[in-house]
Amino acid sequence: MKQFLLVFLLLGTFTAFAQNPIDGNWKGTRETDNGTFEVNYTFKVEGNELKGTWKTQFGEAKIENGKVDGKKISYSISFNDMKINSTGELINDNEIVVKNERGEMKLKRVKE
């Protein structure tokens, strides 16, 4: 019985510390009429909620209305009186594809 309890507690501990593969820092670039600019995201998954920030050379904003469904994500960014709704999908541990009305962008995991 003690061995079963020990195994149960160890499995519970590993599950509690398991990190979602979407968590972390991500970087992509977007081509615009004004040239190429870099986009940086910090994602944190809490349950099925996506939190974090979006940052470019023009400023920073919090992720709003973020949701996670398996490998799929959705969120909004409000910036300069605009609201941009985006969807995305984790392709592998190092790549997320994000889509919105401005097009598609590949994000690569930033290795720490």
Whether residue 96 contacts residue 24, with contact meaning beta carbons closer than 8 Å, is answered with: no
Question: CA 84, 87, 93, 95 torsion: positive or negative?
Answer: negative
Q: Residue 62 is which amino acid? A: K
Q: Residue 105 is which amino acid? A: M
- pLDDT mean over 21-29: 97
What pLDDT was estimated at residue 37? 87
- pLDDT mean over 5-18: 47
Q: Mean pLDDT in the chain?
A: 87
What pLDDT was estimated at residue 1? 59
Q: Detail the DSSP E strand segments found in 10-111.
A: 24-32, 35-46, 49-56, 59-69, 72-79, 82-92, 95-100, 103-109
Each residue of 62-102: pLDDT tens digit?
A: 999 999 999 999 999 998 889 999 999 999 999 999 999 98
Cα(6)–Cα(27) distance, integer angstroms: 41
What pLDDT was estimated at residue 14? 43
Given a cut of 80, whether residue 21 has pLDDT beyond it is yes
